[in-house]
Amino acid sequence: QSALTQPPSASGSPGQSVTISCTGTSSDIGGYNYVSWYQQHPGKAPKLIIHKVNERPSGVPDRFSGSKSGNTASLTVSGLQTEDETDYYCSSFAGSNIWVFGGGTKLTVL
Amino acid sequence: QVQLVESGGGVVQSGGALRLSCAASGFSLSSSGMHWVRQAPGEGLEWVTFIQFNGNDKEYADSVKGRFTISRDDSKSTVYLQMNSLTVEDTALYYCVRDGGNYDFDFWGQGTLVTVSS
C-alpha cells in the first residue's frame, strides 16, 4: 500500500492549461481503470472532480479532464481560472477493496 | 440532500482509544459502501478503511490494521470507527466518505479531529 506519486506543485497562468501527473504501479493505476481526482480548498472537504480515469461527475466544468497511460494518470485543467488555485489529489483502486491516494499537488495560478 | 456528520473526535493520550461516529442522511446508507479517510495536519489524504454496503467485507490500510475496526448500524444510519492503541501518528482530521459506486469517494463529511498526545 504505497502512496501514489504526485509533484508537490504545479503552476500556470490564467487561461493556460496545466497537467498534473500521478504515478503508481501495475497493482493500482496500471491494473484498473478506477483512477479518481479530488479538489480540496483550504479548510474544506475534498470534492470529486474526475472518476473512472476520465469521467466528470455532474456539475464539474469540462475544463477538467483526466487520462491514463500505463501506470501514470494525469489531470489536465484547461482555461485556468483563479479559483482553480488549490490542492489536487489522485486516488486509485488497488484491488481487494483497498484504495491508495497520491501525496497531493498544490496548483498555483500565476 | 446528502449529509455525513462525524463526531467523537478529541484529545487522547498515546495508547488510548476513541470511537468515531458518522451520521448519514439524505440517501440510503444500507445501499452504500462507506470509507474513513484521514488527513494529518498540513499533509495529504490517507485512505483508512472501507465497509461494504452489507457489512460483509471490511478492509484496512496497513497502518491501522489490527488497531482500528469499522462497523455500521443501518437502523441508526450510522457508521463507526473504533480506534485502539492510538499513536501520535494517528493525529488527523478523520473524514467519513460515501463510496460512489465507481471505486471512488463521491461525498465527504466535514471531518472530526483526533489529536493523540504523547
**Residues B12-34 pLDDT 10s:** 999 999 999 999 999 999 999 99
Instruction: Give the cell for residue A87.
Output: 490542492
**Residues B74-100 pLDDT 10s:** 999 999 999 999 999 999 999 999 999
Taking the Cβ of residue B50 and every Cβ of chain A, the question of whether any pair is shorter than 8 Å is answered with yes
Taking the Cβ of residue B6 and every Cβ of chain A, the question of whether any pair is shorter than 8 Å is answered with no
Residue A6 burial by Cβ neighbours in a 10 Å radius (0-12, 13-18, 19+): buried
Residue A1 has pLDDT above 80, yes or no: no
Taking the Cβ of residue A45 and every Cβ of chain B, the question of whether any pair is shorter than 8 Å is answered with yes
Contact between chains at A52 and B110 (C-beta distance less than 8 A): no
Identify the pLDDT of residue A69: 97
Taking the Cβ of residue A31 and every Cβ of chain B, the question of whether any pair is shorter than 8 Å is answered with no
Give the mean model confidence (pLDDT) for residues B49-55: 96
Residues 6+ positions from A20 with CB-CB distance below 8 Å:
A6, A7, A10, A74, A75, A76, A77, A88, A90, A105, A107
Instruction: Give the cell for residue B31.
Output: 445501499
Chain A positions in Cβ-Cβ contact with residue B108 (cut-off 8 Å): 45-47
pLDDT band at A2 (very low <50, low <70, confident <90, very high): confident
Identify the pLDDT of residue A56: 98
Residue A99 has pLDDT above 80, yes or no: yes
**Residues A10-40 pLDDT 10s:** 999 999 999 999 999 999 999 999 999 999 9
